[in-house]
Structure 1
């Protein structure tokens, strides 16, 4: 019997390990993809232990992708050989040095060679000589080469604010764009690398959206769960069941619901508003989370409520001072589910938000075709793992609450 039990235990352990391997293998594989060089991805071989390991994909996700567009006002200096004729300043050969600042801090430094640039100036006679002056304008960078030179950029709205050409004061505005291709140099400071990254902007949107979803969900769900668990009113035994079944079964109405929801938000002026979308997420999760929390509150002895009522407590005080402390595992479970729903939802976010307000879930989807050089799989894999990291950490920190919140409500004394 003992030998039979040992064999059975070993077999069950082996099966459990096999199932765990099948579940975790996609995660491990996407991790190996994220640490491989781009050149090694064009192969049909599965390399379980990568031979060439690099963190370039994570660096590009966190500190900026070189194919992204950067745009900012700059100030700098221009110097070179110029001539002034008939109210026009002709810069024959020169150099423009500028910096782009974010607040008081420098983010980008660049230097580009210039030739054949024409400024309109006020007054002055025909002279020729060396130009040294201060300039300002808009710097648009769309590509950086591997050697640090500018792949492609546009300098526009340039104004020569101060300067002298052989003693003649000049000022004015540029007549055309200055286009830079594969020339000059660009340098990002540490701050500039973060500004260049799209990751932190989308991360901020996701955190705002998920946090608001959690807060609104708890505001709706906690009183509702208490009412369904403790209070007696007409239809109490049927309303929640019907609402829960309707929201879970009526999936065929999804497209019609999206059209109606889009029209309502546009009419109310709430399109492209993160709080409005968080409200939609919270209301959509109310039935399931109310059902979940109600089951947990049912397991709490109602004698505590009656004792508080005898002491003169109101229903609000009972919820705040009695229910919340005792139902903390159930509330934590609801909060985590609400956070995951707001963090990972894709369809409504892509429909109801424009690019600047979209969360990370939409941004990661756009990486499959919007990077500019096809699908950069190691970049995509790194972004996907960073996107999943907050949810994983939350589960690890709150696993005891989740376990008790999901199981205690199903037990009866």
Structure 2
């Protein structure tokens, strides 16, 4: 008896070690990406790897969440202009000076800049000749496409610049500028925290992903719940074969690959639905209906039909049965379907890259496009941080709904 118990302990210990080893193999890539994300200047080409990084830095996460990184900013600005100038024949000639401006988002300042300028010409409403130091207020459109590592403006353009009001040796001047101002590797610029948040590419793509995934979940539930109830409870001709055929058809259609994408693209463009986020969600939801209907039907089958019959006797309609009886009791199955639909809408990138333009593309496409920097000095710390942040919502959703998912996948509904 003692030897048998000892053998069971040894067996349990060995199985535990095996489980730990398997989990280590499965989770090691995730841990490796995490180490890369918090290691400054790390690359996958290094010959060394430390399980515990020597230098820890959150700069990559800060850059992903609140970095500009070359995306285009185009916003109205207000500011001041100072410099040596003279007025002659209704024109103000600014020989050399500085424009100090700021971009606001509502009442909050998003960024401030200071750019040296020279040889600017304004059309002003005065014929009085004067010269001296110009001081005035300006407004216009500030377009920024690059910031240098040292904080200087890499490339920016100021368009539609207008001198709202100013003085030069007692002469009041105002008027529009003839040209636009180009700033290349000159001047300084500073984003505030509000500006970093608003202009972060990550949050823009995150918004698109949330819209697509949320609409996908809602549409999936709208189609799947009634369909699963009908297949589980109602008797109609071909009930035993329709869902099998539907599943088989979607698998065959999925195998068409590029031909299917071309046909889908042509149809979307012909209908004028190109670059519409809800359309993409509708496609995702339609593609997931067969599998999720099958999944939810299996769970509803495990719920006793006596509840439905009791509700019918009390005068409830089928919609009331679904809402007040089925939904509360089938919550684990519905949660499982919702998670699968959310993951499908969150992670898909082929259709998203094909049917959406860059401003409307989700995080999945942005993450994929980051890989385009391979061979051209991609920042692997930046990529690793972006990849982990992209995976975080799915992880959180699984953690919050894990009990429902476990019950939904094991078909643990109420039984007679």
Return the TM-score normalized by structure 2: 0.94
Q: 1:67, 1:372 within 8 Å by CA — same for their partners in 2?
A: no
**1:153 aligns to what SS in structure 2?**
strand
Cα distance in structure 2, aligned partners of 1:274 and 1:41? 35
Count of aligned positions: 413
What is the Cα deviation at residue 370 of structure 1? 6.1
Q: 2:219, 2:285 within 8 Å by CA — same for their partners in 1?
A: yes
- CA-to-partner distance for each residue in 1:161-214, whole Å, 9 max, x for gaps? 212222333333223332223332212122111012111111111111111111
Equivalence map 1:216-295=2 (5 Å):
216-295=219-298
Cα distance in structure 2, aligned partners of 1:384 and 1:354? 21
Equivalence map 1:138-287=2 (5 Å):
138-287=141-290
Change (3 A) 1:98 1:372: farther
Q: 2:80, 2:101 within 8 Å by CA — same for their partners in 1?
A: yes
Equivalence map 1:9-88=2 (5 Å):
9-38=12-41, 43-88=46-91
- CA-to-partner distance for each residue in 1:218-271, whole Å, 9 max, x for gaps? 110001001000100000000001111221244321322222221222222211
Match of 2:344 in 1: 341
Change (3 A) 1:145 1:359: same
Change (3 A) 1:15 1:372: closer
Match of 1:297 in 2: 300
What is the Cα deviation at residue 39 of structure 1? 5.7
Change (3 A) 1:380 1:407: same
Using the TM superposition, name which of 35-44 and 242-251 deviates more. Answer: 35-44
Partner residue of 1:319 out of 314, 317, 322: 322
- CA-to-partner distance for each residue in 1:57-83, whole Å, 9 max, x for gaps? 100111123433322110111111101
Cα distance in structure 1, aligned partners of 2:310 and 2:79? 74
What is the Cα deviation at residue 372 of structure 1? 12
Q: 2:229, 2:297 within 8 Å by CA — same for their partners in 1?
A: yes
Change (3 A) 1:250 1:260: closer
Q: 2:95, 2:120 within 8 Å by CA — same for their partners in 1?
A: yes
Unmatched 5+ stretches in structure 1? none
Match of 2:362 in 1: 359
Q: 2:329, 2:413 within 8 Å by CA — same for their partners in 1?
A: no
What is the Cα deviation at residue 304 of structure 1? 1.2
1:385 counterpart = 2:385: no
Cα distance in structure 2, aligned partners of 1:332 and 1:350? 28
1:119 counterpart = 2:119: no
Q: 2:75, 2:141 within 8 Å by CA — same for their partners in 1?
A: yes
Using the TM superposition, name which of 362-371 and 60-69 deviates more. Answer: 362-371
Match of 1:408 in 2: 411
Cα distance in structure 2, aligned partners of 1:275 and 1:179? 39
Match of 1:310 in 2: 313
What is the Cα deviation at residue 409 of structure 1? 5.9
**2:151 aligns to what SS in structure 1?**
coil
Match of 1:399 in 2: 402
**1:402 aligns to what SS in structure 2?**
helix
Using the TM superposition, name which of 358-367 and 37-46 deviates more. Answer: 37-46
Cα distance in structure 1, aligned partners of 2:195 and 2:351? 32
- CA-to-partner distance for each residue in 1:12-35, whole Å, 9 max, x for gaps? 222211111111000000001111
Return the TM-score normalized by structure 1: 0.95
What is the Cα deviation at residue 389 of structure 1? 0.5
1:97 counterpart = 2:97: no
- CA-to-partner distance for each residue in 1:103-122, whole Å, 9 max, x for gaps? 22211111122222222334
Change (3 A) 1:136 1:373: farther
**1:398 aligns to what SS in structure 2?**
helix
Using the TM superposition, name which of 83-92 and 357-366 deviates more. Answer: 83-92
Query: What is the RMSD of the two structures over their aligned residues, measured on CA atoms?
Result: 2.1
Partner residue of 1:109 out of 105, 109, 112: 112
Cα distance in structure 1, aligned partners of 2:203 and 2:68? 12
What is the Cα deviation at residue 314 of structure 1? 1.3
